[in-house]
């Protein structure tokens, strides 16, 4: 049996490297001078916002580069592939890679709005966050709304404001909500805490998914990416995909998915090889320990997982072998453009190789149909 992939793929995790003019001329005069802006500091281009001075980490813009040229050093826009920050060029790169549509995550605002959630002036932060959601709709996604899929970010510090911005994002055309996978690192409660209930009610009613990207906690934590040391950087990159292990376990046992049966979460960029074990282990723990621990759930954790948790992967041969333990309907593909893990520009070749012995109907679900269904995409 050899499966042929004669259709374009859908990527459920890619990244937008925002150009320097995202906030330019879009804010009220009292906020404009304090909006995020690119400034030259000590020979590096840095995004400056309040006391935060953020760089475009080199490893976040490695699409099309040789592995020998990978570097974590600050990247300049002039040295990036234009598809990193230009939506028209992004579409060209998608065509080159055989990708029909992609779900985008922000960079400068943080993958879930962490930059603004950690701001001192929350009025300024709210307007900058709203402006990003506007730009995402009227500039980035507007280049082709069927192919460039936006996700709303919301003010984490006020759930009523968060609900309002989430609902506004729906009207702008965004197809999902992006939240941090580790709110406690930013001083916010765990996602299963009652604090989030108003937002869960709104999301459940809207019927859109919530993306939880790995490494989307505090923007103020430094990453161990110093070359020469070896272990800190390589260990971080190696274990990073398992960052959602605890998050998902918390959801399965906390009662969050039991209380909100229509909520759907995406574990983004975490891979899938470890999910088979997590599901098996969670069911075993439930069987042996539910009598004394009394978790607020009435079904095995695997029931809630298959009903409400989705996960994507790039090149995960181990995960493919245990796909039935996880659930064929719960798996999706990602390209991770333009980050260093990206399969670009060889996504179709990798997909065809890894799925050469997978039944055609299963492959099509994972590479295309599951994403269309989950994100309610206007694609056949």
Give the pLDDT band of residue 233 (cuts 50, 70, 90): confident
Report if residue 50 sits inside a domain.
Answer: no
Question: What percent of the chain clears pLDDT 90, i.e. is strictly above it?
Answer: 91
Q: Is there a domain that residue 24 lies in?
A: no
Question: 38-59: per-residue pLDDT in tens?
Answer: 999 999 999 999 999 999 999 9
Tell me the pLDDT tens digit for each residue of 153-179.
999 999 999 999 999 999 999 999 999
pLDDT over 90 (residue 341): yes
pLDDT at 227: 65
Q: Give the count of domains, the chain.
A: 1
More confident residue, 88 or 217: 88
Taking residues 74-100, report their average pLDDT: 97
- What pTM did the predictor assign? 0.96
- Residue 230 above 90 pLDDT? no
What is the domain extent for residue 335? 9-17+80-374
Q: Does the residue 279 lie in any domain?
A: yes
pLDDT, averaged across the chain = 95
Phi, psi dihedrals of residue 297, rounded to the nearest 5°: -135, 155
305 pLDDT band, cuts 50/70/90, is very high
The distance from CA 347 to its chain's CA centroid, rounded to whole angstroms, is: 18
Q: Residue 222's pLDDT is what? A: 64
Residue 11 clears pLDDT 60, i.e. is over it:
yes
The whole-number average pLDDT for the span 92-120 is 97
Tell me, yes or no, whether 298 lies in a domain.
yes
pLDDT band at 229 (very low <50, low <70, confident <90, very high): low
Compute the average pLDDT of residues 241-260: 97
Domain assignment present for residue 73? The answer is no
Q: What is the pLDDT of residue 236?
A: 83
Residue 22 lies in a domain: no
pLDDT of 226 > 80? The answer is no
- pLDDT band of 231, cuts 50, 70, 90: low
Q: Is residue 32 part of a domain?
A: no
pLDDT of 372 > 70? The answer is yes
pLDDT of residue 223: 65
Specify the CATH number for the domain of residue 363. 3.20.20.140
Mean pLDDT, to the nearest integer, of 58-65? Answer: 94
Is 232 domain-assigned? yes
pLDDT at 336: 98
Examine the pLDDT at 212 and tell me if it is beyond 60: yes
Burial class of residue 197, CB neighbours in 10 A (0-12, 13-18, 19+): middle
Share of the chain above pLDDT 70, in %: 97
Q: Could you report the per-residue pLDDT of 146-160, keeping only the tens digit for each? A: 999 999 999 999 999
Is the model's pLDDT at 137 over the cut of 70?
yes
Q: Residue 1 has what pLDDT?
A: 56
């Amino acid at each position: 049996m050899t499966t042929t992939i004669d259709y374009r793929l859908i990527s459920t995790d890619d990244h937008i490297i925002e150009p320097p003019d995202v906030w330019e001329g879009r804010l009220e005069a009292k906020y404009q001078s304090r909006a995020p802006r690119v400034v030259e500091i000590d020979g590096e281009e840095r995004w400056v916002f309040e006391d935060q001075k953020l760089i475009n980490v080199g490893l976040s813009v490695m699409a099309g580069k040789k592995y020998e040229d990978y570097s974590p050093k600050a990247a300049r826009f002039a040295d990036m592939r234009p598809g990193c920050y230009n939506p028209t060029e992004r579409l060209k790169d998608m065509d080159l890679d055989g990708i029909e549509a992609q779900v985008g995550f922000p960079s400068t605002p943080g993958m879930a709005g962490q930059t603004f959630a950690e701001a001192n002036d929350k009025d300024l932060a709210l307007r900058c966050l709203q402006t990003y959601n506007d730009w995402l709709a009227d500039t980035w996604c507007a280049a082709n709304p069927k192919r460039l899929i936006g996700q709303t970010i919301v003010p984490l510090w006020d759930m009523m404001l968060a609900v309002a911005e989430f609902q506004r994002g729906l009207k702008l055309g965004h197809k999902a909500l992006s939240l941090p996978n580790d709110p406690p690192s930013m001083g916010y409660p765990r996602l299963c805490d009652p604090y989030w209930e108003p937002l869960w009610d709104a999301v459940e009613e809207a019927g859109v998914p919530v993306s939880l990207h790995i490494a989307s906690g505090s923007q103020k934590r430094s990453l161990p990416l110093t070359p020469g040391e070896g272990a800190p950087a390589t260990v971080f990159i190696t274990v990073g995909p398992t960052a959602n292990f605890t998050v998902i376990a918390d959801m399965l046992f906390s009662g969050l998915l039991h209380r909100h049966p229509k909520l759907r979460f995406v574990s983004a960029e975490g891979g899938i090889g470890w999910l088979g074990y997590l599901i098996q282990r969670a069911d075993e723990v439930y069987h042996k320990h539910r009598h004394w621990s009394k978790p607020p759930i009435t079904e095995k954790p695997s029931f809630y997982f298959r009903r409400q948790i989705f996960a994507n992967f790039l090149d995960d041969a181990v995960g493919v072998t245990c796909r039935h333990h996880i659930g064929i309907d719960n798996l999706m593909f990602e390209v991770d453009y333009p980050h260093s893990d990206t399969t670009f520009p060889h996504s179709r070749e990798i997909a065809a190789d890894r799925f050469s012995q997978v039944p055609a109907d299963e492959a099509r679900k994972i590479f295309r149909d599951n994403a269309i269904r989950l994100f309610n995409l206007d694609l056949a």
